[in-house]
Amino acid sequence: RFLSPEFIPPRGRTDPLKFYIERKDMIQRRKAFNIPEFYVGHILAVTTANPYASEKASRFVGICIQRGGKGLGATFVLRNIIEDQGVEIRYELYNPRIQAIEVLKLEKRLDDNLMYLRDALPEYSTFDVNMKPVSHLDHEEIPVNKLQVRMKPKPWSKRWERPQYNIKGIKFELPEKKMKEAQKWSQPWVEFDMLREYDTSKIEEKIWKEVSEELKK
Amino acid sequence: MRLSVAAAISHGRVYRHLGLGPRSRLDLLRNLVTALVRHERIEVPWARADEMRGYAERLIDYAKLGDTNERAMRLANFWLTEKDLIHKLFKVLAVRFQPHPGSYTRMLHIPNRDDIDRAKMAVIELKGNPFPPLIVPRRDTEKTLLNQLLKGYREDAHRAAVP
Q: Cβ contacts (< 8 Å) between B74 and chain A: which residues?
A: 192
CATH classification of the domain holding B66: 3.90.1030.10
In a domain, B161, yes or no: no
What is the CATH code for A33-186? 2.30.30
Distance CA B152, CA A108 (A): 81
B141 falls within a domain: no
Q: Smallest Cβ distance to A195: which of B55, B62, B78?
A: B55
Q: Which residue, among B154, B147, B105, B150, has the nearest Cα to B128 in the 3D structure?
A: B105
Reply yes or no: is the peptide bond before residue A155 cis, omega within 30 of 0. yes
Asked if B107 and B53 count as a contact pair (C-beta separation under 8 A), the reply is yes
Phi and psi at residue A64, to the nearest 5°: -80, 120
CA B30 to chain centroid, in Å, comes to: 15
Reported pTM: 0.83
Tens digits of per-residue pLDDT, B36-83? 999 999 999 999 999 999 999 999 999 999 889 999 999 999 999 988
**Domain locations along chain A:** 33-186
CA angle A25, A217, A3 (to 5 degrees): 60
In terms of phi and psi (left: phi > 0; alpha: psi -120 to 50; beta: otherwise), the region of B5 is beta
Query: Is B84 inside a domain boundary?
Result: yes
What is the 8-class DSSP label of residue B65? T
- B16 CA: distance to closest CA in chain A (Å): 13
Which tens digits make up the pLDDT trace of A104-128? 988 889 888 899 999 999 999 999 9
- The answer to whether residue B149 is domain-embedded is no
Within a domain: residue B63?
yes
- Domain assignment present for residue B116? The answer is yes
Q: Which of A13, A184, A185, A192 to mutate to test the interface with B (most CBs of B within 10 A)?
A: A192
* Interface ipTM above 0.85: no
Confidence band for B1, pLDDT divided at 50, 70 and 90: low
Give tens-digit pLDDT for A9-62.
Answer: 999 899 999 999 999 999 999 999 889 888 999 999 999 998 888 888 899 999
Nearest to B58 by CA among A84, A2, A198, A205: A198
Domains in chain B, number:
1
Domain of residue B38, residue span: 14-130
Task: Please give the interface size between A and B, counted as residue pairs whose CB atoms are below 8 Å apart.
Answer: 24
Which residues in chain A touch residue B22, judged by CB atoms under 8 angstroms apart? 187, 189
A174-200 pLDDT, tens per residue?
899 999 999 999 999 999 999 999 989
Contact B12 A13 (CB under 8 A): yes
Domain presence at residue B137: no
Residue B152 placed within a domain? no
- Using a CB–CB cutoff of 8 Å, tell me whether B54 touches chain A: yes
